[in-house]
Structure 1
Amino acid sequence: MTFKQISGKLHLWLGLGSGLVVLILGITGCLYAFIDEIKPLVYHDSMYITVPANAKRLPLADLQVIAQKAIGEDKALQVAEVPTAPDRTVYFRTVKVNEDKIFYNSSLTYFYKVYVNPYTGSVVKVENTKWEFFNVVVNLHVNLLMGPNVGKKIISWSVVIFVIMLISGLILWWPKNKSAMKQRVWFKWKKDTKWKRKNYDLHNIAGFYAMFILLIIALTGLVWSFEWFNKAVQWTANGGKSAPELPALTSDTLDLRPYSMDKILHTALQQDPTATSLFVTIPKNNKAAVSVYARNANKPYFTSTSTFYDQHSGKLLRRSTFSSRNNGEKVLSFNYDLHVGSLLGLPGKMLAFFASLIAASLPVTGVYIWWGRKNKKTTKNKKQAPRKTAMSVPA
């Protein structure tokens, strides 16, 4: 067998084995591509309020108490999102995961969000995020609605197979000469062009144009899938050196002042005045530092900053910006933006959307090609089989 024939066999059997997972990844990738643009429209009533005249915002600590009562004392709140726009609600969330369980319903014990009016303190909505549409889409994308111990492994190795298929697909696509190249880069359909030919072109030509974008999406997915791949990327970016681990941050346990959530929020806003949202972690105990993730929704995610504070005094302990990170951390900062296409803004998201759509179509068109060739061989063998005559029938 030639190298191209081996690539063909590899492409076929790996495709048949991982096709369903690739189909799911492609469809869910399409659905998630414009989540930042769709959510404010779909959940407008939860996210937006009318600002009362001459109203003042309540302290964030008071809003936390209100949200905790709404969700129940048995579910400790973990994160607060504080938008800087005056007409936005503040929401608190709490999540509990049981990694020992296999299926989504039992592995994600609960996931709730509480939306609160920052002026009146009224609870706008208590959302069961476990079954919220986009959260289900994300979990289907990352673990097939199964536990992280099972579903994530299936997804991870399916992505590895998909990378191999992209490379083998390029080998199969590569024409023997320049004249054949024209048929591989453009759809030359006529009125009498049969569907089999159209399907073949959809698989080969569309797959070729989407291949480079899909390769980026797949490789950035592997950064989250495998710790060794993550470390290898950082090691390479750092010139063959492992980045030193930063010491864990804790608050001064001798400081017995109450948790200073509002002071921390005020300092965080001074640190990042252009942020449109601040994600504030709620400490689990008396020692934990408070982290604030500041993001500007009009800019890519890699421009976001992270700051850490003493929970009692509100003192700034550490600030991480893109420019302050080492090369390995900078590369990882780009990972999400590359994966979803937001690095190039709306055009990049559109490219990611159409590439994901093509990825979802590849298993379908590929199976149709395989099925057509299989039936063609079966029909050809039947035609070539010798017919029995009276002379050939044993007595």
Structure 2
Amino acid sequence: MRKFFHQIHLWLSIPLGILISVICLTGAILVFEKEITQIMYPETRTTQVEGQHGRKQRPEFFRQVRALHRWLLDAPAKKGESSAGKTVVGITTVAMTVILISGVIIWFPRNRRTLKNRLQISCTKGWRRFWYDSHVALGFYSTLFLLIMALTGLTWSFSGYRTFMYDLFSGLPVDNLRRFFYSLHTGTWGGLTTRILYFLAALIGGILPLSGYYLWWKKQKRK
């Protein structure tokens, strides 16, 4: 069974790893969009950041980061419509969900000693061991947050999925549901603490495919 999930983990990660890194790293940047904008553009301190209490004109940098995060720069012609970039982001996010779940199944230890080893990162046994431990341990620590981000992010990618998720909370007004899923996706639901945790998780999510590529490349060299 582990071998089966290992193959799923590997063959989804190899073609989509770079896209996952792009989505996660741009998401990490967007976590602190408001603070970065206020530092770079002090005149915006009295305005609001979209998603909080209103809209303001985003600096060009963040418009591009957001477009990369949501549509790979291929924005839909109209709000609510589809585009190739939006579809690719959605499919990649579904694959990321499967990669995360399969990674937990592969990681799940058989005994307490193995659990202890997999939660630690060795810095004294060479680069390959360091990146392996980092991939395994950091992946475990960030999985829950990454899954929340992925499962809520899909509500912006696929209308059918959004309808299904909204139906689960059918007693709430649609506007409240939008704000609820937005807060879950961005980490604003718990204030600064959860935003920092989301930032770290998204940053790790962007690094995991790169460490995975390195480990796969080292393995191929040994064959």
For Structure 1 versus Structure 2, the TM-score category normalised by the shorter chain is: 0.7 to 0.9
- Letter matched to residue 152 of structure 1: K
Q: 1:48 to 1:338 in 2, by over 3 A?
A: closer
Counterpart of 2:24 (choices 19, 22, 26) is: 26
Residue 120 of structure 2 corresponds to residue 186 of structure 1: yes
Q: Give the TM-score normalised by structure 2.
A: 0.88
Gaps of 5+ in 2: 50-54, 77-82
Residue pairs, 1:300-315, within 5 angstroms? none
> Are residues 339 and 375 of structure 1, via their aligned partners in 2, closer, same or farther at CA, if it must alter by over 3 Å?
same
Q: C-alpha separation between the residues in 2 aligned to 1:374 and 1:135?
A: 40
Report deviation, 1:178.
Answer: 2.2
Give the match for residue 87 of structure 2.
Answer: 153
Larger strand share, 1 or 2: 1
Say whether residues 1:136 and 2:70 are aligned partners: no
Contact 1:340 1:349 (8 Å CA) reproduced: yes
- Asked whether the equivalents of residues 236 and 328 of structure 1 are also in contact (C-alpha less than 8 Å), the reply is no
Query: What's 2:182 paired with?
Result: 336
Shift of 1:147: 3.5
Contact 1:30-1:356 within 8 A present in 2 as well: yes
AA in 2 matched with 1:213: F
**Using a 3 Å threshold, how does the CA distance of structure 1 residues 348 and 368 change in structure 2: closer, same or farther?**
same
Cα distance between partner residues in 2 of 1:355 and 1:197: 21
Match of 2:79 in 1: none
Shift of 1:82: 8.6
C-alpha separation between the residues in 2 aligned to 1:158 and 1:146?
15
| Equivalence for 2:98 | 164
Selected match of 1:327 from 152, 162, 172: 172
Q: Distance in 2 between matches of 1:48 and 1:208?
A: 37
Aligned to 2:194: 348
Q: d(CA) in 2 for partners of 1:190 and 1:221?
A: 35
Aligned residues: 212
- Cα shift readout 1:133-156 (whole Å, capped 9, x = no counterpart): 011100010111124311100100
TM-score, normalised to structure 1's length? Answer: 0.51
Kindly provide the amino acid, as one letter, of the partner of residue 352 in structure 1.
Y
Is structure 2 residue 135 aligned with structure 1 residue 218?
A: no
Q: Which runs of 5+ in 1 are unaligned?
A: 50-80, 84-91, 94-112, 114-128, 239-325, 378-395
Spell out, residue by residue over 1:339-359, the C-alpha distance to the aligned partner (whole angstroms, 9 max, x if none). 111111111110111001100
Letter of the structure 1 residue corresponding to residue 41 of structure 2: Y
Matched with 1:70 is none
Matched, 1:17 2:15: yes
The alignment-based identity, stated in percent, is 34
Amino acid at match of 2:204: I
- Displacement after TM superposition at 1:30 (Å): 1.5
What letter is aligned with 2:141?
A: Y
Q: Which has the larger share of helix?
A: 2
1:173 aligns with 2:173: no
From 370, 385, 388, the equivalent of 2:216 is 370
Larger radius of gyration: 1
CA RMSD of aligned residues (A): 2.3
Return the letter of the residue paired with 1:337: S
1:30-78 deviation line (CA, Å, top 9, x unaligned):
2111111221221114x369xxxxxxxxxxxxxxxxxxxxxxxxxxxxx
